[in-house]
Amino acid sequence: MITKTRKTKETNITISLNLYGTGKSNIDTGVGFLNHMLESFSKHSLIDLDIKCVGDTHIDDHHSVEDVAIVLGSLLAESIYPVKNMERFGSANVVMDEACVSCDLDLSNRPFIVYEVDVRGKVGQFDTELIEEFFRAFISNARISAHIIALRGKNKHHMIEAAFKSLGVSIRRATQKNNKIGIPSTKDIL
């Protein structure tokens, strides 16, 4: 388990992460919907997560959502770089009823995101526009390249949850140990 704390005027966050865990999580971000999404991510990535965030949710959820993503992405980067003896690439399509979301990623050490999950409005009290903010901050700080694309769907909850699950499964596959591959790059560094 590695741990990182980040404290600003807007949030106070401590996250512990075990890359090769069993998918156990203890998550309290102060944002119920985000808790649910991160629990799904943990379960399907098999990454153990312990997350505590106290944020200015009396204003809105934006700072908590984005700052949790920053810390979580930073911890993932610490866990995987330099990439060695890992598959490097991961891909998954996750279906939730009518929704299907694809995630393809590369542990490239070069952040880039293609995000095409068109959800607008709210899920309960949660502003769905914050999901893109989460993924952008997470991908940037994890220094991975990811394409997260909704192939179909109508139910916003299903589409968002399928996005988190597909990211989790893709990371699990990309970080899978492979001692034959060494450094998975023709450049000999990632």
Pairing type for strands 89-96 and 99-106 reads antiparallel
Q: What is the mean pLDDT of the chain?
A: 97
Tell me, yes or no, whether 88 lies in a domain.
yes
Tell me, yes or no, whether 85 lies in a domain.
yes
With a cut of 90, say whether residue 190 has pLDDT above it: no
Among 125, 148, 177, CA closest to 41: 148
In tens, the pLDDT along 5-21 reads 999 999 999 999 999 99
When mean pLDDT is compared across 20-29, 60-69, 181-190, the lowest value belongs to 181-190
Average pLDDT score over residue span 100-123: 97
Expressed in angstroms, the distance from the first to the final Cα of the chain is 23
Q: Are 83 and 145 in contact (CB under 8 A)?
A: no
Tell me, yes or no, whether 185 lies in a domain.
no
Give the pTM: 0.97
Instruction: Please report, for the domain that includes residue 45, its CATH number.
Output: 3.30.230.40
pLDDT score recorded for residue 49? 98
Q: Which residue pairs from 80-83 have beta carbons closer than 8 angstroms and sit at least 24 positions apart in sequence?
A: 80/19, 80/107, 80/142, 80/175, 81/107, 81/109, 81/143, 81/190, 82/183, 82/189, 82/190, 83/107, 83/109, 83/183, 83/184, 83/185, 83/190
Tell me, yes or no, whether 186 lies in a domain.
no
Tell me, yes or no, whether 29 lies in a domain.
yes
Domain membership of residue 6 as a residue range: 2-174
What total of structural domains would you count in the chain? 1
Percentage of the chain modeled with pLDDT above 70: 100
Tell me, yes or no, whether 184 lies in a domain.
no
With a cut of 80, say whether residue 82 has pLDDT above it: yes
